[in-house]
Structure 1
Amino acid sequence: MTERETWATRAGFIVAAVGSAVGLGNIWQFPFKTAQFGGASFLIVYIVAALGIGLPAILAEFVIGRKANLNTISAFEKLGYKEWRVVGAIGLFTGFWILSYYSVVGGWVLRYIGGSLTGAYFAAPAEYFGQVSAGMEALALHAVFMALVVGIVAAGIEDGIEKATKLMVPSIVVILAALAVFAFTLPGASAGYAYFLSPDFNALSENFAEIVPFAVGQAFFSLSLGMGAMITYASYIDGDQSLFGDGITIVFLNSFVGILAGLVVLPLLFAQGIDPNTSGAGAVFISVAGAFGDIPGGQIIGFVFFAVVLIAALSSAISLLEVVVSWAIDNYDVSRPQMAIGLGGTIFLLGVPSAIDSAWLGWFDTLAYQLLLPLSVLGILVFAAWVYGAPAIDELMKGSGLGEGVGLTWLWLARTLVIVAVVATLALGLQTLFLGESPAIVPPL
């Protein structure tokens, strides 16, 4: 077995974990799900979910990963609970599943970077999206995006993932902040701020059961929870750094970037007179893209916007591929580059249906949100809080400088309120999955 790599610095781990969290979940999914589910009403539930459920869950993953220093499946066996490897396997499969269609969306972003410079989508954005979102061109760009991901992961932890994310994450924040300032100057943008930041509590109470599974699922998706990514990244920590401090930093920065993306997308929609409730995935790929054609310097603004979306997509995608590569190199005597190429190619093949027909992409995404993510997070929480218990507190408090009461509070929350919330989310998600009508990822054109 190859000697295990580690992060070069604590900052490297934090930035890589933030990069895993800050991805398409923030810039693509977050604005359009916010638009679909009532703006500020969705935002409130999301923030509560990120802090109240996401933070305890991410700490549980960190504890497992750092204590075991192994991949998301083998970690459970090393901790002495071989039968719980199934939880790690669910997480690994979830990340594998999500990356297969995530890469297809990454391919769309590549196409829109070029389309921005030429203004190809300005005249008829819906038709343009219909042409590039499915078919052979989408398949080819899916392959290009996966090749970029494979190249970064093949270079290793310190030389590949850490160096790449140290460049990517600050770039995302700076560019989004600049775009948010630009959106603020547009006439009519104030209506977007009102929709995004002023909650309608009557609408929230009426649609609570519909909003909750998607808001909690969004928190899981955007924090890279339940995908094995945070267990895997924590397994490369070499030292007694504060997991509690790192977790708070990652949740805060991730939520900040999602809100920042909303402050770009929603004011832009309202400034162009576009109804956010009908935008769907088109909030980025149709509505916002089309709006660039109506503003001064739209070609440059569009290029910059989709460039930051690409950076975010890559920073998350490399973490998902690393989950399966980490498992492979921990268990088989094969080099990292070989594993990255072989597993990346397999994920590409799984994504072929999503590239050829976007209805498949919608089905893959719905299954991930409603079933795989909450099921995986539930298994991790039950293990960390109820099965592992006291040693989990010891690992969490190591290097934190905090009193034991903080660890006991985390354990109590994870054992009770958080697990109840995840079970309720899973139940509502299953109800939507099998009895309801899930929102389409790609709207009818």
Structure 2
Amino acid sequence: MDERATWATRIGFILAAAGSAVGLGNIWRFPFLTGESGGAAFLVVYLLLVVGVGVPVLLVEFVIGRRSNRNPIGAFERLGHPGWKAAGAVGAIAAFIIFSYYSVVGGWVIQYVVASFTGGYGADAEAFFLSTASGTNAIAYHGLFMATVAGIVALGIRNGLEKAATVMVPTVVVLLVGLAGYGATLDGAGAAYSYYLAPDLSTIVGDAVSILPAAAGQAFYTLSLGMGIMITYASYIGEDRNLLQDAGVIVVLDTAIALLAGLVVFPFLFTQGIEPGEGGAGSIFISLAGAFQQLPGGELLGGVFFLMLLVAALTSAFSIFEVVVSYITDTFDVNRVPTALGMAAVLFVVGIPTALDLTYLDAYDLFANNILLILSGLLLSIFIGWVYAGEAVEELGKGRASDGRIEAIWLTTLRYVVPIVLAITLALSVRDYIGFLQESFL
């Protein structure tokens, strides 16, 4: 097998990892989930989960990836615990499912970019969304998005993923900051900030149980946890790197961009009197397209927003697809280019049902995010906390001076906090998913 590729620079790795987290999960999924789940109350639960669960699990994936230099499934054989391959397989399956419908949503974004710069979305924003979200147009643009991602990933780590991330991630940040600044000047900004940033503390405890599955799934989705992405990305970094420091930068950048996305979306909605969370998975498209039509210079503003969303979609799509490609190239010692193209064709076919019926998109999304990602995080935390603790502590200590206190806190959290929270979340998620299936398909 050829020598494994590595990141050329630390900033390249951080931007690629942050780019994975910065994508549609933060800018498409986060605002509509926040709207559906009550605004600031959801935000508080989400942030607590990011800090208390997300950071420890991110370090778990970093340790497994760098220690093994392998994909999420092959990692456990390299670590001497082949019986735990199932833990990695859950994440790889999640990445496969997520990318199949993620590409469909990416195709929606391309259509909105084109429409924004060529005459807008018509008189009825909802009708325009329905015409783009399902049918032959959705399938065609799903294929275009899939082909674009496959082409970049086929170029490899340094020439493809790293170069793309160093351009795209700063672009997303600049455009988001500019849009947030514009949003602050709108009439509905004050009400939007109150809804988004001022929780009713008296209701959070009571609401936490109902919010927990969506908030945990979103925390994992935006940090790219449970899909094997961070295991795969960490497998390309050297032993001299400070994993704790890199994880901190990635989490701060990701969380800041998630918060920034809300500061962009909610002022636009409140200014037009649009209820947050309306429209489900299509809410950001229906609501914002309608809002842009009402604003001065709305076509240009909408074009900039959806162009930014497309760039963000691509940055995280690269990382999800890399998990699948890495597994095939590591396991079967085959060339990256035909692997990327072949898997793109398979995923294109798997994604077709979601391009024909939004109910399938919801089914894929809830299963992958609220069940598979959480299950993967639960298994990985148990593995490191109880099976591979000594070696994991050693790996986390590389690249920095350590007195062992941080590692001790990390292990305690992985043993006694993370599994309990994730087990409860998983049980609630399974209950909710069964209810969804009964309502939607039976």
TM category (shorter chain) comes to over 0.9
Unaligned runs of 5+ in 1: 441-445
Please show how residues 143-292 of structure 1 align to structure 2 within 5 Å: 143-292=143-292
Q: Does 1:100 align with 2:88?
A: no
One-letter identity of the residue aligned with 1:142: H
Task: Give CA-to-partner distance per residue, 1:239-288, whole Å, 9 cap, x none.
Answer: 31110011111111111000000000011100111111434334310011
CA contact (8 A) 1:432 1:438 kept: no
Structure 1 residues 381 and 417: alpha-carbon distance in aligned structure 2, compared to 1, 3 A threshold = same
| Matched position secondary structure for 1:194 | helix
Kindly report which structure 2 residues correspond to 1:253-332, keeping only aligned pairs within 5 A, or say none: 253-332=253-332
SS in 2 for 1:301: helix
1:47 maps to which residue? 47
Aligned residues: 440
Q: Which amino acid aligns with 1:39?
A: G
Q: Contact 1:245 / 1:400 at 8 angstroms: preserved in 2? A: no
Between the aligned partners of 2:438 and 2:113, the Cα distance in structure 1 is 29
Alignment of 1:361 with 2:361, yes or no, is yes
Q: Structure 1, residues 194-216: CA drift from partner, whole Å, max 9, x if none?
A: 00000023442332221011001
1:122–1:292 CA contact under 8 A, matched in 2: no
What code does the residue aligned with 1:403 have? D
Question: Quick check: 1:212–1:425 contact (8 Å CA) kept in 2?
Answer: yes
Equivalent residue number for residue 4 of structure 1: 4
Secondary structure in 2 matching 1:7: coil
- The 1:210/1:19 distance shift into structure 2, 3 A limit, reads same
Shift of 1:296: 1.1
Letter in 2 for 1:169: V
Secondary structure in structure 2 of the residue aligned to 1:276: coil
**Corresponding residue for residue 397 of structure 1:** 397
Deviations 1:415-434 (A, max 9, x none): 11111111111011111112
Evaluate the alpha carbon distance shift between residue 141 and residue 190 of structure 1 in structure 2; reply closer, same or farther with a 3 A threshold.
same
Q: Distance in 1 between matches of 2:435 and 2:133?
A: 28
Query: Which residue identity does 2:389 align to in structure 1?
Result: G
Structure 1 residue identity aligned to 2:426: L
Alpha-carbon offset, residue 118 of structure 1: 2.3
Amino acid at match of 1:352: I
In the TM superposition, what whole-angstrom CA distance separates every residue of 1:291-341 from its partner, at most 9, and x where no partner exists? Answer: 111111111111110011111111111111111111111122321111000
Paired AA for residue 40 in structure 1: A
Distance 1:438 1:127, change over 3 A: farther
- 1:443 maps to what in 2? none
Contact 1:378 1:422 in 2 (8 A): yes
Q: Is the contact between residue 180 and residue 260 of structure 1 (CA under 8 Å) also seen in structure 2? A: yes
8 Å CA contact 1:122, 1:289 repeated in 2: no
> What is the aligned partner in structure 2 of residue 36 from structure 1?
36
* Displacement after TM superposition at 1:385 (Å): 1.2
Cα distance per residue 1:69-128 (max 9 Å; x no partner): 111111100110011111111111110110000000000000000111123315210000
Give the conservation status (yes or no) of the 8 Å contact 2:239–2:398: no
CA distance, structure 2, for counterparts of residue 437 and residue 216 of structure 1: 20
In structure 2, the partner of 1:381 is 381
The DSSP-based 3-state class of the residue aligned with 2:294 is coil
- Structure 1 match to 2:23: 23
Counterpart-to-counterpart distance in 1, 2:383 and 2:205 = 33
Q: Please give the alpha-carbon distance, in whole angstroms, between the structure 2 residues aligned to 1:237 and 1:231.
A: 10
Structure 1 residues 346-384: Cα deviation after superposition (integer angstroms, max 9, x where no partner):
111110100111111111011112211111111111111
Whole-Å separation in 2 of the counterparts to 1:277 and 1:365: 16
Aligned Cα root-mean-square deviation (Å): 1.4
Say if 1:122 and 1:290, in contact at 8 Å, map to a contact too.
Answer: no
User: How many angstroms does 1:226 deviate by?
Assistant: 0.5
SS at match of 1:199: coil
- 1:30 is displaced (CA, Å) by 0.4
The runs of 5 or more residues in structure 2 that have no matched partner are none
Tell me which amino acid in the other structure corresponds to 2:56.
P
The amino acid that maps onto 2:401 is G
d(CA) in 2 for partners of 1:405, 1:181: 41
Structure 1 residue matching 2:378: 3-state secondary structure: helix
Tell me, yes or no, if the aligned pair for 2:33 and 2:277 is still in contact at 8 Å. Answer: no
Aligned mates of 1:86, 1:436 — CA distance in 2: 26
Q: Secondary structure at the match of 2:377?
A: helix
CA distance in 1, matches of 2:407, 2:206: 36
* Distance of 1:46 and 1:208 partners within structure 2: 10
Structure 1 65/164 Cα, relative in aligned 2: closer, same or farther at 3 Å? same
Amino acid at match of 1:368: A
Distance 1:90 1:367 in 2: 12
Deviations 1:133-179 (A, max 9, x none): 00010000000000010011000000000000011111111100000
Alignment TM-score, normalising by the size of structure 1: 0.96
2-structure distance, mates of 1:18, 1:267: 25
Cα separation, partners in 2 of 1:63 and 1:116, compared to 1, 3 Å: same
SS in structure 2 at match of 1:207: helix
Residues 168 and 48 (structure 1), Cα distance of their counterparts in 2 relative to 1, 3 Å cut: same
Residue 187 of structure 1 deviates from its aligned partner by 1.1
Letter in 2 for 1:260: L
Quote the offset at 1:403 in angstroms: 2.2
